[in-house]
Amino acid sequence: MNPLDALAWVLDSEEGGPPMDAPYSERRGWCYALALRAFVERPAIFPQGDRVVVSLVHGFPRLQVPGRPIYGHAWVEIETESKLPAEFVTKGWPETYTTSTVYDPTTNTTMPKPLYYRLGHIVEAQSGRWVDAKDVLDALLEHGTVGCWAPVEGLPEPPVWAED
């Protein structure tokens, strides 16, 4: 059994959570399972390109609520690289462009990664990231659960809120 098949098998268990098309009321509290499901199933809403790298991420957002503690959460990041048509490249444009998008499985939304991290006050260094399905399966087996796999020891003090 390959790693993606093994992960799909886990998602068919009780810990697999609701399906990707479940309403929001059924998705709350299932971010780790839903992010894992999105990593495995690669829904059609993911951005497309000539090269696509999908990462499963576990981290600690704070959101835009003063005094709110950080909390464990999971999402999927999609980096796409697309080649520009040849007529643009000859005009001094770069041959390719890259975009980074976040898919949040709880809200079933996508947005640019910089915006998601800013809104969530997410510190990238405090997040765990997995790109390879075998590494995701290894983390699942090591922890015995679908999340949280991000290191929780040594989290710094809460970030300072920007005044802008």
164 in any annotated domain: no
90 in any annotated domain: yes
Residue 162: pLDDT band with limits 50, 70, 90 = very low
Sheet strands (E) in 18-108: 51-59, 73-83, 96-104
Over residues 85-90, the mean pLDDT reads: 74
Over residues 28-32, the mean pLDDT reads: 86
150 in any annotated domain: no
155 in any annotated domain: no
Amino acid at 57: V
Residues with Cβ within 8 Å of 7's Cβ and at least 6 positions away in sequence, in order, are: 36, 39, 40, 133, 136, 137, 140
Residue 110's domain spans which residues?
Answer: 3-143
Q: Higher confidence at residue 27 or residue 11?
A: 27
Query: How far is Cα 38 from Cα 126, in angstroms, rounded to an integer?
Result: 22
153 in any annotated domain: no
Q: How far apart are the first and last CA of the chain?
A: 51
β pairing state of 128-130 and 51-59: antiparallel
**What's the confidence (pLDDT) of residue 155?**
60
Q: What is the DSSP string of 23-68?
A: -HHHHTT-HHHHHHHHHHH--TTS---SEEEEEEEEE----S-TTP
89 in any annotated domain: yes
Domain count, the chain: 1
Is the peptide bond prior to 148 cis by the omega test (within 30 degrees of 0)?
A: yes
74 in any annotated domain: yes
43 in any annotated domain: yes
Q: Tell me: pLDDT of 157 over 50.
A: no
